[in-house]
């Protein structure tokens, strides 16, 4: 096999620029079919993006002999069902994050894929972006010594669309699995898993302070990696501005970076002063570097850093920090 032919379930906003076109541009990859719960949406997407086929139901796409692997880009409440359907067919699965609406559901997805011998990948694309690869290399090189601790801070305003009719799907726990913490807060924890090793312990609390929607809007807690690195975190989604920073404290320096702003420079503080390091311009389709690693693995020429197993670990940490497990 010289090329992976992808089918895509879901045609939402994430697929317009971030991910969808990347399947056409990655080396050894092409997008051959799409489907949506709304047939007209699938047809429109296929026409605008030059996709040869569109379906009005997922099973027909999965059964298409010209589809080698499937990307699931729906809301989290349907990730599990579609993952099981694709895995049952024996085809590789690439699923948006979080994997399921609970860590228990995510584990079931991973276990089923393992039983079927099906490759399973999760869409934490920051693991393949140049900025975060730079940070990981700094840590792995030990140029600033061993890592001693990590702290995550994120705050955001309440968005206008979330103030009406119960808010968007992201703040409806029955659809998203939680609130904004599960949606955007998860990226910081996934990067810690990748850069510093899996998180083995976590404890926290979730609150709904604003009462604007049903989901939590504040989460705080502490955690520890398997290597014994302690961490703390505070995520507030009801404040006056949007910003985030993760501080990694090492023996000889503090590395600080934004998780959500992938173009923001990295800051390194030492006893000699503060250094700002520019990062490469992000790719037009931010998921393309990760998709390339998936294609490379499926073609036997590389390894993807974001798997179902790693996505499941992040889901477990999310649930522990909100006190669900």
Pick the closest to residue 36 from 93, 97, 78 (CA basis): 78
**CA dist., res. 102 & res. 227, Å (int):** 26
pLDDT of residue 272: 97
Q: Rounded distance, CA 316 to CA 107, Å?
A: 9
Question: Does 152 lie in the same domain as 25?
Answer: no
Does 94 lie in the same domain as 54?
yes
DSSP for 84-145, please give it. HHHHHTT--EEE-SSSSSSHHHHHHHHHHHHHHT--EEE--GGGGSHHHHHHHHHHHHTTT-
Residues 318 and 181: beta-carbon distance below 8 Å: yes
CATH code where residue 201 lies: 3.30.360.10
Q: Are residues 257 and 153 in the same domain?
A: yes
pLDDT of residue 264: 98
Kindly tell me the burial class for residue 159, based on how many C-beta atoms sit within 10 Å of its own C-beta (0-12, 13-18, 19 or more). Answer: middle
CA-CA distance, 306 to 128, in Å (whole number)?
9
Exposure letters 253-286 (e unless 16+ CB within 10 A, then b) = bbbbbbbbebebebbbeeeeeeeeeebeeebebb
What is the rounded distance in angstroms from the CA atom of residue 19 to the CA atom of residue 7?
Answer: 13
In the chain, the number of structural domains is 2
73 and 198 co-located in one domain:
no
Helix boundaries (H) for the chain: 22-25, 39-49, 58-63, 79-88, 103-116, 130-141, 173-176, 180, 186-196, 288-298, 308-321
279 to 45, 141, 224, 264, 291: CA distances (angstroms): 33, 18, 28, 7, 21
pLDDT tens digits in sequence order for the chain, 325 residues long: 699 999 999 999 999 999 999 999 999 999 999 999 999 999 999 999 999 999 999 999 999 999 999 999 999 999 999 999 999 999 999 999 999 999 999 999 999 999 999 999 999 999 999 999 999 999 999 999 999 999 999 999 999 999 999 899 999 999 999 999 999 999 999 999 999 999 999 999 999 999 999 999 999 999 999 999 999 999 999 999 999 999 999 999 999 999 999 999 999 999 999 999 999 999 999 999 999 999 999 999 999 999 999 999 999 999 999 999 8
The reply to whether the predicted model has a pTM over 0.95 is: yes
Q: Judge contact between 33 and 53, C-beta under 8 A.
A: yes
- pLDDT attached to residue 53: 98
**Residues 248 and 206 both lie in one domain:** yes
Tell me how far CA of residue 311 lies from CA of 127, 165, 189, 318, in angstroms: 12, 31, 10, 11
pLDDT at residue number 325: 82
Residues 91 and 189 occupy one common structural domain: no
Which residues form the domain of 112? 4-126+287-312
Are 12 and 119 found together in one domain? Answer: yes
pLDDT of residue 28: 98
Residue 131 maps to a domain: no
Q: Report the pLDDT value the prediction gives residue 316, as an integer from 0 to 100.
A: 98
Please give the structure tokens belonging to residue 316. Answer: 């477990």
Assess if residue 320 is contained within a domain.
no
Asked if 243 and 175 sit in the same domain, the reply is: yes
């Amino acid at each position: 096999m010289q090329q992976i032919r992808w089918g895509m379930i879901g045609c939402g906003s994430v697929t317009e620029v971030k991910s969808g076109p990347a399947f056409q541009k990655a080396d050894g990859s092409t997008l051959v079919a799409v489907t949506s719960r709304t047939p007209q949406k699938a047809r429109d997407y296929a026409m605008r993006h030059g996709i040869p086929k569109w379906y009005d139901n997922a099973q027909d796409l999965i059964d298409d002999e010209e589809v080698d692997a499937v990307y699931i880009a729906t809301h989290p409440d349907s990730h599990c069902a579609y993952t099981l359907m694709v895995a049952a067919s024996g085809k590789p699965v690439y699923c948006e994050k979080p994997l399921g609406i609970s860590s228990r559901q995510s584990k079931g997805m991973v276990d089923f894929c393992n039983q079927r011998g099906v490759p399973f990948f999760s869409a934490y694309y920051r693991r393949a972006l140049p900025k975060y690869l730079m940070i990981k290399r700094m840590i792995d090189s030990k140029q600033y010594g061993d890592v001693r601790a990590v702290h995550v801070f994120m705050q955001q305003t309440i968005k206008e669309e979330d103030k009406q009719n119960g808010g968007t799907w992201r703040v409806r726990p029955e659809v998203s699995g939680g609130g904004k913490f599960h949606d955007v807060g998860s990226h910081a924890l996934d990067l810690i898993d990748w850069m510093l090793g899996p998180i083995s312990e976590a404890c926290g609390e979730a609150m709904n302070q604003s009462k604007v929607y049903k989901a939590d809007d504040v989460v705080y807690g502490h955690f520890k990696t398997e290597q014994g690195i302690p961490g703390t975190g505070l995520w507030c989604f009801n404040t006056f501005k949007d910003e985030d920073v993760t501080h990694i404290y090492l023996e000889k320096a503090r590395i600080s970076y934004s998780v959500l702003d992938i173009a923001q420079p990295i800051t390194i503080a030492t006893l000699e002063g503060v250094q700002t390091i520019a990062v490469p311009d992000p790719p037009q389709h931010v998921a393309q570097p990760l998709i390339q690693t998936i294609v490379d693995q499926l073609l036997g020429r590389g390894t993807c850093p974001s798997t179902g197993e790693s996505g499941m670990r992040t889901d477990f940490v999310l649930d522990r920090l909100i006190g669900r497990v």
